[in-house]
Chain A
Amino acid sequence: MKIMVAIKRVIDYAVKIRVKPDKSGVETSNVKMSMNPFCEIALEEALRIKESGGASEVVAVSMGPAQCVDTLRTGLAMGADRAIHVDYPGSLYPLSIAKILKALVEAEKPSLLLLGKQAIDDDCNQTGQMVAGLLKWPQGTFASKVVLDEEKQVATVDREVDGGLETVCLELPAVITTDLRLNQPRYATLPNIMKAKSKVIKKVTPQDLNVEIRSDLEVVQVTEPPKRKAGVIVSSIDELIDKLKNEAHVI
C-alpha cells in the first residue's frame, strides 16, 4: 500500500506576523518558514503506518514556489521515500490544491491520502474535504486516532468533534486529515538529513497534470485585528469582584 502526504510551507508558527503597510497581505520576506505543524503530524502518521508494516511507500507532495523543495527535503529527512513538487509561483487556493492533489492521486494511485486538518496561515480547513469530494473517496477529518485493517481494506478513525470523539469506519482508499493529538512528530536526525539529499524530488507543473488554475476569490485587503484597550492590574480579589460587578457588570 502506498500513502501520499500533502505538505505545506508556511510561516513558522512561533513567528509573530506583521501585516504589510499597503494592506496587501502579510510580510513573508525574510521570515522563517517551516512545515505546517498539522502536515508534520500527517507525515509522522504515514511513517508510523509504514514502520508497522502497513505501507510500502510514503510519497510527500507540495505545491507552490521553488522554496517548497526545502519543506519537502525536511519531509524526506523525517523518512518519506520520495517527493513531488508541483511548481507554481502564484497564490493557490484550496480548490486548486484539491484539483492538483486529485491529479497526483490518479497518477500515483495511493490507498491513503493524509493531510493536516488546516494550514496555520490561511486557517481554511478545506483542502482535505475538497479533494475527498473530487475523488469520491470517504473522508476522516480531524483525526486523533487511525487504525488500518489491511485485510478488510478499511480505516477506523477517531475524529475530534464538538461533542467529544466520533468514530467512523472508512472504506479504502480514503482521505484523512490530522488533528493535533494524533501523534508527536519526530525530529529529523543528522544522518537522515544527509540521506534525504540523495532522495528524489520530482518536479511537475499544473499544466503537466492538466489542471487549470483559476481563482474565484480575491483578497481585497489584509488588516490588523482591532486592538483590545489596555487593562488594569488589580491588587486584591475584593477589588476584582467589585470591578466585575460594578464596572463591567458581568457577574
Chain B
Amino acid sequence: MAIRAMLAVSRNRSLATAVLSRYRFISTLVLAEHEGGSIKASSLSAVEATKSLGEDNSVSILLAGSGPSLREAAQAASCHPYVSQVLLADSDKFTYPLAEPWAKLLHVVHKKGNYSHIVTASDSFGKNILPRAAALLDVSPITDVIEVSGSHLFVRPIYAGNALSTIQYTGSDPCMLTIRSTSFPVASMSAHSKSIAAAIEQVDLSTFSEDDAVGKSKFVKLSSQDTERPDLGNARIVVTGGRGLKSAENFKMIEKLAEKLGAAVGATRAAVDAGFVPNELQVGQTGKIVAPELYMAFGVSGAIQHLAGIRDSKVIVAINKDADAPIFQVADYGIVGDLFEVIPELLEKLPEKK
C-alpha cells in the first residue's frame, strides 16, 4: 500500500494525499452514558457507528461517574466486541451530566489519547456536551449523522429532514460526531461477547483544572415521568396522538392502545402544547426522532416538523378524518375515518400481544 501511495505521488500529488489520508490510522473515542450498571442503548449505537469509520479502528469507550454502577458498566463495556479499551473517570464531578465538567473531561482525555474521531449519540446528553468540547479543541463538530460514508465523509439531514447534506471533514483531528441512534441499529449483543475483556484504565484527573467553567453550574433536580411503557426512542411500535384527540382525557385511548400493542406513546407538538401530554413525548424535529417498525398516527395532520421525526419508520399507519392530510402521503396504510370510532374497534380486534 505504501508503494502504491508513493507511485501516486509521482503521478498526482493530491491523489496521493487522498489515498494516504484514507488509510491513516483511525482511533475512536466514544463518550458513553450508563445507567444502572449498563451502557445505554443510544451509546451502543454510537459504538456501532464507529465500525463504518474504517477497518483497524481501535475503539476506546469513555465512562464517567462514581460508585459501583460505574464499575459494573465498565465491566459490561469491556466485553463489547468492538471495544479495545475502557476509560474510567471516577469522580463525583461527573455524577450528573453537566456539560462543563464533561466537555473538559473530553478535552483532557483527547489531549492524552490523540484520537482521530470522537463520537457520541445525538441525544440530549451528547448534543449538550460534544459541541462544547469541540469548541475547546477548536474543531467543527458534525451533529446528527445518519450515515458514515468514509472516515471523514458523513451524511446528515438539514431543513427538518427535507434535504440530506453530505459533508467532508477537512479539519485537524479529532473529527467530532454525534450520531442519530435510529440510523445505527445495534445487533443483539448476547450473541457475540468476546472471551478476552478489554483493558479498563483510570483517567488521570490531576490535570483537570477547576479554573474555568467547571463548578459554575450545579445540578438541582431531574423530574422525570415514570412510565412502564418502552422508551420512545427505542420502541418497536410507537402510537402517536395529535390535536385530533381533542383532550387529555381522550388521549388515554392512545395509551390504552399502546398498552395492548406493547408500544411507546408519542405526541405531536400540537398535542403537547394543548396540554394533553408532557413534552418529553413529542416526536418531530424539535422532539424525539423515532424509527420503529410500526408507527401509528391518530389525528395527526403531518406537518413537516413532525414528519422529520418519523421518516425512517418501517411501516407508517395514519388514521385521520381529513383525506387530504399530508400524513397520508408518507403513510403505508391509511384509514380515512373518525379516530373515536377507529380506536375502540382496534382495541377490540387487535390480537393480544405476545
Interface of A toward B, CB cutoff 8 Å: 11, 13, 16-17, 19, 26, 93-95, 98, 117-118, 120-127, 129-134, 136-142, 144, 156, 159-171, 174, 179-181, 215-225, 228, 231-235, 237-238, 240-241, 243-245, 248, 250-251
Contacts and interface: CB of A to CB of B under 8 A. Distances in A.
A232 B334 contact: yes
B201 interface: no
Interface residues of B, number: 90
State the majority secondary structure of interface residues on B.
mixed
Nearest to A128: B131
B141 interface: yes
B161 A95 contact: no
Contacts of A120: 159-160, 285
Contacts of B143: 123-126
B127 interface: yes
B124 A126 contact: no
B162 interface: yes
Contact of B349 (A13, A164, A166, A241): A241
Interface in B302-321: 304-305, 311, 314-317
B158 interface: yes
Interface stretch (B48-56, B61-69, B98-106): B98-106
Interface stretch (B24-32, B74-82, B185-193, B221-229): B221-229
Contacts of A224: 162-164
A222 B163 contact: yes
Contact of A225 (B161, B279, B334): B161
A13 B131 CA distance: 24
A216 B140 contact: yes
Contacts of A13: 305
24 contacts: A16-B162, A94-B141, A123-B143, A129-B103, A133-B213, A139-B128, A162-B125, A164-B224, A168-B217, A168-B220, A174-B216, A179-B286, A215-B170, A216-B139, A216-B171, A218-B168, A219-B166, A222-B164, A225-B162, A228-B330, A231-B331, A231-B332, A244-B294, A251-B237
Nearest to A13: B305
A140 B160 CA distance: 23
B159 A121 contact: yes
B221 A166 contact: yes
B216 A171 contact: yes
B185 to A, nearest CB: 16
B135 interface: yes
Contacts of A171: 216-217
Contact of A181 (B169, B218, B223, B279): B279
Interface in B195-242: 212-213, 216-225, 233, 237
Contacts of B222: 161, 163-167
B135 A237 contact: no
A185 B317 CA distance: 34
Contact of A248 (B98, B159, B332): B332
Contact of A162 (B99, B134, B233, B304): B233
Contacts of B316: 228, 231
Interface string B149-188: 0000100111111111111111110000000000000000
A147 to B, nearest CB: 11
Nearest to A215: B140
B335 interface: yes
Given A16-B162, A220-B166, A250-B237, A139 B223 contact: no
B136 interface: yes
B169 A94 contact: no
Contacts of A221: 165-166
Given A139-B99, A165-B223, A181-B279, A170 B216 contact: yes
Nearest to A214: B171
A147 B82 CA distance: 45
Contacts of B330: 228, 231
B342 to A, nearest CB: 6
B171 A217 contact: yes
Contact of B225 (A26, A133, A164, A250): A164
A8 to B, nearest CB: 14
A233 to B, nearest CB: 5
Contacts of B251: none
- Which 4 pairs between the two chains have the least Cβ-Cβ distance? A216-B171, A164-B224, A133-B135, A130-B135
A238 B342 CA distance: 11
B182 to A, nearest CB: 13
B342 A180 contact: no
B123 interface: yes
B133 interface: yes
Contact of B328 (A16, A93, A216, A233): A233
B159 A123 contact: yes
A248 B317 CA distance: 11
